[in-house]
């Protein structure tokens, strides 16, 4: 998986690390090569463009960490941008719904849908100790229902008894009833595929969706088909609505483009990847791990992270002093946000407050992605801009928005928030021995 891309990228980035100093032209040249490598790996053009733009903008805004080389810092930026592109957070299958939770599997014929249905069934039974029922709704391919039954027997997962002559919708209804009466936690519906997407297939999917009310609708797509898999996901999402993707045949020698473009183009998370024919050949899609595999430079990434952390401690002390003087620039704000993120984000911090633990529902509404986004915005600014936010005119704001994958409105919102906080700091700083003085001695 990703071997050739990985080889190319590590070759390009390796050259950067061996230099003492980097010019903007060095970074640009490297990005041109990265761009070519990604295109050859069959990553969608738009995605490649936004990737290299982001890396470039972040590299410009990055402050220099003395204990590592600039090349190592660029590698960390490429790594983080890659993780962003892959979807940042691992998204497992969501079973948070009243039982029986229906999972609907959709996709083209031969994509590995039936195999994946059995794989997920096995994983949820063996690993998560759920009671799972599998049902094949494929009445078109004569042996399909039998294939799932055999896989069920092999993996000790229950399957819905086959009744000849029923329509897919009738089977879906029967599966959900059996799920309720049999006390199942999860019912996985393996729908029929086609060679191409056609109208009839889409109508059938919509009908099954209406009857089963699935909590997850997972598209199974063959990673070896590259951009076709991404386009397929787009079409299915528009017509049926998807909650996630499973990419199969990631064990093959595909160029990886589907995995790399999928999230950016469709906005849907890859939840799982199939890595072989056996029932246990299914893995979680973990963007950080995948980025690590692609770059093969985990040591450098960890090194830069550690170096940045050490700087953090020194910075926190300095920030406290600055705030006492009533100074508070965007670097200080970024620092606050980072500290917040380290403590598990807003949710983590609020959960620490007495009485908040019980309000887990409310906490779920707090969106930690906002904090991440705000940090990304500030990281995309130059150090001058961070010290003097008033420098940020319209064109600079557009550059920062492109670098952080946000919109100019987001930047304006952040700047406003910063101004309010800075005003507050100033006020508090003026009160001698006021609140901040008290905090400082805590």
Closest to ligand GDP by CB, 1 or 381: 1
What distance in Å separates the CA atoms of residue 249 and residue 1, rounded to the nearest whole number?
9
Q: Is 178 annotated as a binding residue?
A: no
Q: Which residues contact 420 (CB under 8 A, 6 or more apart)?
A: none
Kindly state whether residue 277 participates in binding ligand GDP, applying the rule CB under 6 A.
Answer: yes
Closest to ligand GDP by CB, 276 or 326: 276
Q: Helix, strand or coil for residue 103?
A: strand
Kindly state whether residue 284 participates in binding ligand GDP, applying the rule CB under 6 A.
Answer: no
* Sheet arrangement for strand 216-222: 158-159, 132-136, 186-190, 101-107, 216-222, 244-248, 270-274, 282-284
* Burial (CB count <10 Å: 0-12, 13-18, 19+), residue 142: exposed
Beta strands in 3-90 (DSSP E): none
Q: Which residues contact 401 (CB under 8 A, 6 or more apart)?
A: 377, 407, 408, 410, 411
Q: Helix, strand or coil for residue 189?
A: strand
Kindly state whether residue 244 participates in binding ligand GDP, applying the rule CB under 6 A.
Answer: no
Q: Is 112 annotated as a binding residue?
A: yes
Binding residues among 93-132 for ligand GDP as defined by CB under 6 A:
107, 109-115
Q: Helix, strand or coil for residue 425?
A: helix
Binding residues among 186-205 for ligand GDP as defined by CB under 6 A:
193
Secondary structure letter of residue 276 according to DSSP? S
Closest to ligand GDP by CB, 222 or 332: 222
Per-residue binding string, ligand GDP, 49-88, x by CB under 6 A, is: ----------------------------------------
Kindly state whether residue 48 participates in binding ligand GDP, applying the rule CB under 6 A.
Answer: no
Q: Is 434 annotated as a binding residue?
A: no
Closest to ligand GDP by CB, 109 or 339: 109
One residue of 249, 268, 315, 322 binding ligand GDP per CB under 6 A: 249
Neighbour tally for 365: CB within 10 Å: 8
Q: Is 403 annotated as a binding residue?
A: no
Kindly state whether residue 139 participates in binding ligand GDP, applying the rule CB under 6 A.
Answer: no
Q: Residue 103 — φ and ψ, nearest 5°?
A: -115, 125
Chain residue at closest Cβ approach to ligand GDP: 274
Q: Is 339 annotated as a binding residue?
A: no
Rounded to a whole number of angstroms, the distance between the first and last alpha carbons of the chain is: 52
Kindly state whether residue 229 participates in binding ligand GDP, applying the rule CB under 6 A.
Answer: no
CB of 270 to ligand GDP, least distance (A): 13
CB of 203 to ligand GDP, least distance (A): 19
Q: Is 108 annotated as a binding residue?
A: yes
H or E stretch including 136?
Answer: strand 132-136
Kindly state whether residue 251 participates in binding ligand GDP, applying the rule CB under 6 A.
Answer: yes
CB of 150 to ligand GDP, least distance (A): 11
Query: Under the rule (CB under 6 A), what is the footprint of ligand GDP?
Result: 107, 109-115, 193, 248-249, 251-252, 274-277, 281
Binding positions for GTP: 107-114, 190-194, 248-251
């Amino acid at each position: 998986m990703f071997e050739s891309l990985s080889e190319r990228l590590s070759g390009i980035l390796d050259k950067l690390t061996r230099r003492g100093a980097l010019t903007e032209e060095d970074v640009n040249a490297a990005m041109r090569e990265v761009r070519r490598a990604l295109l050859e790996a069959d990553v969608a053009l738009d995605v490649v463009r936004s990737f290299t733009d982001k890396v470039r903008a972040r590299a410009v805004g990055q402050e220099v960490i003395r204990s590592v080389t600039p090349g190592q810092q660029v590698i960390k930026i490429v790594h983080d941008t890659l993780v962003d592109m892959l979807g940042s957070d691992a998204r497992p299958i969501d079973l948070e719904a009243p039982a029986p939770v229906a999972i609907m599997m959709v996709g083209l014929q031969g994509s590995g849908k039936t195999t994946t249905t059995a794989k997920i069934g096995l994983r949820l039974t063996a690993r998560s100790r759920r009671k799972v029922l599998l049902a094949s709704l494929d009445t078109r391919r004569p042996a399909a229902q039998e294939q799932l039954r055999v896989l069920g027997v092999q993996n000790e997962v229950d399957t819905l008894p086959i009744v000849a002559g029923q329509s897919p919708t009738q089977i879906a209804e029967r599966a959900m009833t059996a799920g309720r009466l049999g006390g199942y936690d999860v019912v996985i519906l393996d729908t029929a595929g086609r060679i191409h997407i056609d109208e009839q297939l889409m109508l059938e999917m919509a009908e099954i969706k209406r009857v089963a009310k699935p909590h997850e609708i997972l598209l199974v797509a063959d990673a070896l088909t590259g951009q076709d898999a991404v386009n397929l996901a787009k079409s299915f999402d528009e017509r049926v609505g998807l909650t996630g993707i499973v990419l199969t045949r990631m064990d093959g020698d595909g160029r990886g483009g589907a995995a790399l473009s999928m999230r950016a183009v469709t906005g849907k998370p890859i939840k799982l990847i199939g890595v072989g024919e056996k029932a246990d050949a299914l893995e979680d899609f973990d963007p950080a791990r995948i980025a690590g595999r692609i770059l093969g430079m985990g040591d450098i990434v960890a090194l830069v992270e550690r170096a940045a952390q050490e700087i953090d401690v020194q910075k926190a002390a300095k920030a406290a002093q600055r705030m006492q003087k009533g100074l508070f620039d965007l670097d200080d704000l970024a620092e606050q946000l980072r500290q917040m993120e380290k403590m598990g984000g807003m949710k983590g911090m609020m959960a620490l407050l007495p009485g908040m633990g019980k309000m887990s529902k409310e906490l779920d509404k707090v969106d930690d992605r906002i904090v991440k986004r705000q940090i990304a915005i500030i990281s995309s600014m130059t150090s001058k801009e961070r010290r003097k936010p008033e420098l940020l005119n319209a064109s600079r704001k557009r550059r920062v928005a492109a670098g952080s994958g946000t919109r100019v409105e987001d930047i304006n919102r952040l700047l406003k928030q910063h101004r309010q906080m800075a005003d507050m700091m100033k006020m508090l700083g003026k009160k001698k021995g006021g609140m901040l003085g008290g905090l400082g001695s805590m």
